[in-house]
Amino acid sequence: MFQTLAREIQLCYGFVRRDLGTGLLPVPGFTLASLLYRKASGEEMIPAIGHAFLYGFLYLYTFVVSNQITGVHEDKVNKPDRPIASGAESVSAATIRYWTLTTLYLAYGYSLGVWEWALLWIVTTIAHNPLGFSNFGPTKDLCMGLGCIAQLKAAWALGGSPPQMGWEWIKIITLYMLWPIPLQDLRDVPGDLAAGRRTTPILLGDVPARVYISAGIIVSQFLLIKYRILEYRYDTSTLALSAALVLMTAGCIFRLFAFRSLTSDRFSYWLYTVIYVFQPLSAAITLR
């Protein structure tokens, strides 16, 4: 029993470990923003944040299992330590895992009253992975934008605030996920070429892709800082918050051009995900 549990924990970690930042953490972060916006009590916050963590985990877990089922050949080049690529889990076993997790995810979303956003993510996952939308840059990027909407709309609803204010933030955060998301593909170009994919960096070429990504980061963060953070609350906390976002943005863009290697691009993508996670937390600080 203990060995089975230990193996399951190891497999689960192997599936999700690279994507915990973008897949899990924005859900409780944006749920917290929703709770603070409506001045929820501490007694309300604890269970809501707990639900948000579990929902975010299932959101992430369903996607990464599906993604790794359809991306075995790429993973053998780019990420050979993943469970399926390494041989720790078979494709057939992972398929059973995916459908079990998806059923649990949809049922849990239904119980929380966010089933429509869970369903949107399931449909997006199917389009991105088995239907092959991830093989072409524009459709892959669109799926990531839809995934951001599904993730954050559910998170805001779990906090119980009216949807309008949440949507005002989600629109800009989604722009950050939709436009500069090809940054994640810079680190995977060798594997994508081997798999025959045409991601945005492959379609545009290396330097134009870096310009395109940088423009998306700059525009989205300018809109977030000017029209969401500082327009709603102008005080020491939001000025410090804005300064932190500016520094991270500048650092990410500097790295994109100063250190152009697969190793550096992996770190730049990590910084990009830190900025993404920081944005729901920015909403929590601003809307408190």
Per-residue pLDDT at 230: 98
Bridge partners for 136 per DSSP? 198
What is the spatial distance between Cα 165 and Cα 131, in angstroms, rounded to a whole number?
Answer: 34
Which amino acid, one-letter code, is at 182?
Answer: P
Three-class SS of 181-249: CCHHHHCCHHHHHHHCCECHHHHHCHHHHHHHHHHHHHHHHHHHHHHHHHHHCCCHHHHHHHHHHHHHH
pTM of structure = 0.95
Provide the pLDDT for residue 1: 77
In the prediction, which pLDDT does 217 show? 98
Reduce the DSSP state of residue 136 to 3 states and report it.
strand
Task: Going residue by residue through the chain, which has 288 residues, state the pLDDT in tens, using 9 for 90 and above.
Answer: 788 888 999 999 999 999 999 999 999 999 999 999 999 999 999 999 999 999 999 999 999 999 999 988 878 877 899 999 999 999 999 999 999 999 999 999 999 999 999 999 999 999 999 999 999 999 999 999 999 999 999 999 999 999 999 999 999 999 999 999 999 999 888 878 877 889 999 999 999 999 999 999 999 999 999 999 999 999 999 999 999 999 999 999 999 999 999 889 999 999 999 999 999 999 999 999
Residue type, 203: L
pLDDT score recorded for residue 77? 77
pLDDT of residue 28: 98
Q: Which ranges in 17-114 belong to alpha helices (H)? A: 20-23, 26-37, 42-70, 72-78, 83-86, 91-112
On whether the CB atoms of residues 172 and 228 are closer than 8 A, the answer is yes
pLDDT for 3? 85
